Amino acid sequence: MNARQIAALLFLSAVWGASFLFIRIAAPVLGPFPLMAGRVILAAGALWLYAAARRSPIVFAPYGKRLLVLGLIHSAIPFSLIAAAEIHLTASMAAVLLAAQPLFAALIGSFWLGEPISARRLTGLGLGIVGVAVLMGWSPLSLDATSVASVVAVLAASISYAAGILYSRRKLPNAPVMTLALGQQLAAAAWLVIPAAFALPRVSITPAALGALVALALVSTALAYLVFFWLIGQVGAVKTATVAYVIPVFGVLWGVLLLDEPLSGGMIVGLSCILVSLLLVNKKAPVGEEPGAVVAAPMASSTS
């Protein structure tokens, strides 16, 4: 990778890591459904303007039903779960928990796509579970019912992201890039607009929450998609997917620096365990072992 491509990878990691910061600021004010409905609607509008300016072809007709499924399991459900969780969890905690998403992708892939799990990958999955356990048991948060439910919500979002990535690989392998990017946002909006209408915020919308929504939609979603797909075209899906290792680091960094969130020993140890587990799960297999590991970035879907 050259300097420009590395810079794009770091930028992508930074803006996806910042999404946890934006959600933490906006979710308690706007609520999960209105926040995420606003996110996907604004992002869809920005992507449509970009596609129109570039005259990029967008074809929805052959993919309509599959895009609706993808928009549900890879956007509407995980977006809402993370927003609901971050009303109670710190942004840095949510970022570390979501780092387990590629582990779930590997696990689901072994059952859905018939990808075998070697001893090395099984060790990686076990280490990832240990990392999550350490994170929960050695954190500044009190382990009450609300905190546990919030942790479960982020892990459920990770599973939903992983299922969405595998679904796109299986059902939308030849869909054009802009069709996937824009179609997923429109489909998510279709799923979220009605719940959002019944859950409109009952408090005054602060400038900080509104600014966080706009940044989440335009920077961490629309712009991030464009950089993501550009990078795939430059260096391929596997190298681009290494962004998954850096996103939680930026998520923790922004939370600590900008929101004064605590950096606990459990967070450092838990994140370290999860990152090592990702290396074990996604390490290229020697000849004779299983096919390539499932790798993907957790905040976007592609044909990878």
For the segment 263-277, what is each residue's pLDDT rounded down to a tens digit?
Answer: 777 778 877 877 787
Q: Is residue 38 part of a domain?
A: yes
Which of 85, 21, 82, 74 shows the shortest CA–CA distance to 219? 21
pTM of the predicted model as reported, rounded to 2 decimal places: 0.84
State residue 115's pLDDT score. Answer: 62
Residue predicted with more confidence, 230 or 35: 35
Distance CA 200, CA 222 (A): 24
Q: Is residue 47 part of a domain?
A: yes
State residue 283's pLDDT score. Answer: 63
Reduced to 3 states (helix: H, G, I; strand: E, B; else coil), residue 291 is coil
Q: Are 104 and 250 in contact (CB under 8 A)?
A: no
With pLDDT > 90 as the criterion, what percentage of the chain qualifies? 41
How many domains does the chain fold into?
A: 1
The average confidence (pLDDT) of the chain is 83
State residue 150's pLDDT score. Answer: 93
pLDDT > 90? residue 154: yes
How sure is the predictor about 174, in pLDDT bands with cuts at 50, 70 and 90?
confident
Q: Is residue 27 part of a domain?
A: yes
Distance CA 19, CA 161 (A): 15
Residue predicted with more confidence, 262 or 125: 262
Q: Is residue 299 part of a domain?
A: no
Q: Show the domain range for 201.
A: 3-282
State residue 102's pLDDT score. Answer: 72
Please, what's the b/e burial string for 224-256 (b: 16 or more CB within 10 A of its CB; e: otherwise)? bbbbbbebbeebebeebbbbbbbbbbbbbbbbb
Residue given tokens 């689901």 in the structure block: 108
Q: Is residue 297 part of a domain?
A: no
| Residue 191 CA: distances (Å) to CA of 66, 184, 195 | 14, 11, 8
Q: Is residue 304 part of a domain?
A: no
State residue 110's pLDDT score. Answer: 72
How sure is the predictor about 161, in pLDDT bands with cuts at 50, 70 and 90?
confident
Q: Are 125 and 103 in contact (CB under 8 A)?
A: yes
Q: Is residue 146 part of a domain?
A: yes
pLDDT, tens digit (0-9, with 9 covering 90-100), for 59-87:
898 999 999 999 999 999 999 999 999 99
Q: Is residue 303 part of a domain?
A: no
